[in-house]
Amino acid sequence: MRTLLREFEKNGHSADAALVKWSPDTLRKILDTELPDAQVIVVSNREPYIHNIKDDEVELVVPASGLVSALEPITRACTGTWIAYGGGSADHLTVDEHDRVAVPPDDPTYMLRRVWLSEEEHAGYYLGFANEGLWPLCHIAFTRPNFRTADWETYESVNRKFADAVVAEARNERPIVLVQDYHFALLPRMLREQLPEAIIITFWHIPWPNSEVFSICPWRERILDGLLGSSIIGFHTQFHCNNFIESVDRFLETRIEREDAAISYQGQTSLVHAYPISIEWPPAQLGKVPAVAQCRDRIRSQLGIADGVKLCVGVERLDYTKGIIDRFRALGELFSRHPEWIGKVTFLQIAAPSRGTLPDYERLHRECARCAEEINQRYGHDGYTPVLFVAEHHTQRQVYEIYRAADVCMVTSLHDGMNLVAKEFVAARDDEQGVLILSMFAGASKELLEALIVNPFDAATMGETLLYALTMDSDEQQYRMQRMREIVRDNNVYRWAGSMLLDAARLRKRAEVELGGIAEPVETSNVVSLQERWRAMT
């Protein structure tokens, strides 16, 4: 038995992820060979395609979400089912009688199953517990988390609602369920109870705090218990895995095998691994946008930027974790220390409105606008506006054009799990030009070492880094960009998903060996535990 187990482990390691060229085909092959007949179900709060009513027409919106840009190509490659909250004003109108709609709309390859939430459910589960509780708890952005019992109860009942949707969508008792993010900490346990043989891979897209910070959550044990229903719990960095394991060690009775990064709890083992998320490569958007020179001309003339003025950009959701005000401050530092740059650089900040009804987000919006205005009053003059703050949703295509037009991209999150904007900027620059300034507190800084790494809390040094970026010669830009592009190409999102699926396949094989046999999955809507049948057989 032990030899067999070792063989499985060895096989897993022999598929050395680094030597594989990762593509949608690689993913499909892993599924065919390692997890035959497995149905892939993705669960997230945010849906990949939102249908809204605009001017009496149905408008399709792809939300500004790193999660969506990463998971969409994966779900397409696996022809899976994606279950998400249907929040668009026309979402009801576009689904069939099972609340499903085939997507992508122009070339359908998978099913989006929408889950409906009442206003109260959305307020308690999404705005309340997830975004006023867990979000500030997990990010070091010095915003106080708010925990309310009513929100917690709604969070629990909405997690239950999604669990029921997964069970309803499962074609057999052994699907692979990819649970996304902090909206669903309780879902893995609920699924484990209803689908004991499922592979449940939970990916936590945001940081995990240290155990001292985590301890302030009144439902900390329940959250850990919920997550430990997963077969695999993934984070972007080893640091966040360590914080999670430390929290489990402190608050639950478990056995932790640190060497294997495995936690045994209530007779079940969960792996806790770092899988740095990424983007598709080559990015589909690149095929749709004009050449860099054209993008530069178009964007600069749209914004009225004069010749000889450098363009620096920031692109994100309008969120207090993103360090938007801090980069405005860095620009102010640049102007005050190096006044010769006044009139020679424009900062374009694209900020997609997000969670806008929450007081912290309303305040941030006002604060960003005020800060931009202050710089413009102080340093602007006729025909020159130093900061362009555009708090509007932009399509992916518009965003890629902006990346291609930029001389410098600033990604200065105060704290971030990964921050895919950094990788998207690199992917957009097939001309191998442009400078990336990247926060040391974004997960991406562990991979993109050729970026100019900054501490966003230190505006003066960031101002100096901005100067360095603006004056970097083309050869150095190329040298740095080439290396970053290699990293993003090799560590693309197919590798992210493929590594998790390979680990999941290993776990499943090991479980089969431990249980003494391999059984065929049973096609049924009425789920019966394989474990129970094995137990009866032995």
- In the set 26, 65, 202, 491, which binds ligand F6P (CB under 6 A)? 65
Residue 206 binding ligand F6P, by CB under 6 A: yes
Provide, rounded to whole angstroms, the least separation between the CB of residue 410 and ligand F6P. 18
Q: State the number of binding residues for ligand F6P (CB under 6 A).
A: 12
Q: Is the Cβ of residue 51 or residue 205 nearer to ligand F6P in the bound state?
A: 205
Least separation in angstroms between CB 62 and ligand F6P:
12
> Strand runs (DSSP E) across 353-494, as ranges?
387-390, 408-411, 435-439, 452-454
In this structure, which amino acid lies at residue 245? I
Minimum distance of ligand F6P from residue 256's CB (angstroms): 27
67 touches ligand F6P (CB under 6 A): yes
* Cβ distance to ligand F6P smaller for residue 206 or 427: 206
Q: Which amino acid is at 88?
A: G
| Position 66 contacts ligand F6P (CB under 6 A) | yes
Pairing between β-strand 110-115 and β-strand 81-85 as defined by DSSP bridges: parallel
Alpha-carbon distance 511 to 426, whole Å?
Answer: 41
Q: How far is the CB of 195 from ligand F6P (least distance, A)?
A: 24
Which 349-388 residues touch ligand F6P, going by CB under 6 A? 354-355
Cα–Cα distance measured from residue 385 to residue 383, given in angstroms and rounded to the nearest whole number: 7
Stretch that binds ligand F6P, among 64-72, 87-95, 267-275, 451-459 (CB under 6 A): 64-72
Binding range to ligand F6P, per CB under 6 A, among 62-70, 96-104, 189-197, 499-507: 62-70
Site stretch for ligand F6P (CB under 6 A), options 59-67, 285-293, 453-461, 475-483: 59-67
Shortest reach from residue 475's CB to ligand F6P, in Å: 35
Structure tokens, 508? 């499943």
For residue 314, the surrounding DSSP H or E stretch is strand 310-317
Distance in Å, CB of 122 to ligand F6P, minimum: 11
Nearer to ligand F6P, 345 or 351 (CB): 351
User: In angstroms, how far is the first alpha carbon of the chain from the final one?
Assistant: 16
Query: How is the beta sheet containing 255-257 ordered, strand by strand?
Result: 100-103, 110-115, 81-85, 40-43, 176-180, 199-203, 232-235, 268-274, 262-265, 255-257
**How far apart (Å, rounded) are the C-alpha atoms in residues 227 and 264?**
12
Q: Which is nearer to ligand F6P, 421 or 505 (CB)?
A: 421
Cis check for the bond before 353: say yes or no (omega within 30 of 0): no
* Residues 201/500, Cβ–Cβ less than 8 Å: yes
Binding mask 400-439 for ligand F6P (x = CB under 6 A): -----------------x----------------------
The CB-of-182 to ligand F6P minimum distance in angstroms stands at 7
Please give the Cα distance from 447 to 491 (Å, whole number).
Answer: 9
Which phi and psi angles does 68 have, rounded to 5°?
Answer: -65, -45
Q: Which residue has the tokens 């969960």?
A: 270
Q: Least CB distance from residue 44 to ligand F6P, whole Å?
A: 8
Dihedral sign, Cα of residue 341, residue 310, residue 65, residue 97: positive
Which x/- pattern, by CB under 6 A, does the window 175-204 give for ligand F6P?
Answer: ------x-----------------------
User: Measuring CA to CA, how many Å separate 443 from each of 42, 158, 386, 420, 423?
Assistant: 23, 29, 29, 9, 11
The least CB distance from residue 359 to ligand F6P, in Å, is 16
Tell whether residue 46 is a contact of ligand F6P (CB under 6 A): yes
Stretch that binds ligand F6P, among 60-68, 78-86, 307-315, 476-484 (CB under 6 A): 60-68
Q: Does 205 bind ligand F6P (CB under 6 A)?
A: yes
Beta carbons of 312 and 348 less than 8 angstroms apart: yes
400 — phi, psi (to 5°)? -65, -35
Applying CB under 6 A, which residues contact ligand F6P?
45-46, 65-67, 181, 205-206, 317, 354-355, 417
